């Protein structure tokens, strides 16, 4: 999960709320699955710039990657 808005950007408070709710949902799902089957990684604020590194790491292992982006900040596209 990625929440990339910074405190100075509009809707920051709403993005934090959405991020927290979805993070709790994902963690509950992880807890309900057999151990080791699900990994949840939350990336927040300025750390969101590193999301492509995380995706590449999972993809290199040929694992399924689901990315839930709540707010992208000042990025309009990625290649």
Q: Which two tokens stand for residue 9?
A: 């950007």
Residue 24's pLDDT is what?
A: 92
Q: Which two tokens stand for residue 1?
A: 């999960």
Residue 12's pLDDT is what?
A: 84
Reported as a pLDDT band with limits 50, 70 and 90, residue 67 is: confident
**Structural contact between residues 15 and 70, judged by C-beta atoms closer than 8 angstroms:** yes
Residue of 78 and 63 predicted with greater confidence: 63
**Structural contact between residues 73 and 9, judged by C-beta atoms closer than 8 angstroms:** yes
Q: Which two tokens stand for residue 4?
A: 């990339």
Q: Which two tokens stand for residue 78?
A: 């990625």
Total residues belonging to the chain: 79
Task: DSSP letter for 34, please.
Answer: P
Task: Assess whether pLDDT exceeds 60 at residue 54.
Answer: yes
Q: Give the mean model confidence (pLDDT) for residues 65-69.
A: 78
């Amino acid at each position: 999960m990625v929440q990339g808005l910074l405190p100075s950007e509009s809707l920051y408070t709403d993005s934090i709320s959405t991020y927290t709710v979805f993070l709790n949902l994902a963690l509950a799902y992880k807890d309900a699955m057999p151990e080791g089957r699900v990994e949840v990684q939350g990336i927040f604020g300025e750390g969101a710039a590193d999301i492509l590194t995380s995706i590449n790491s999972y993809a290199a292992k040929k694992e399924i990657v689901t990315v839930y982006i709540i707010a992208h900040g000042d990025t309009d596209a990625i290649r």
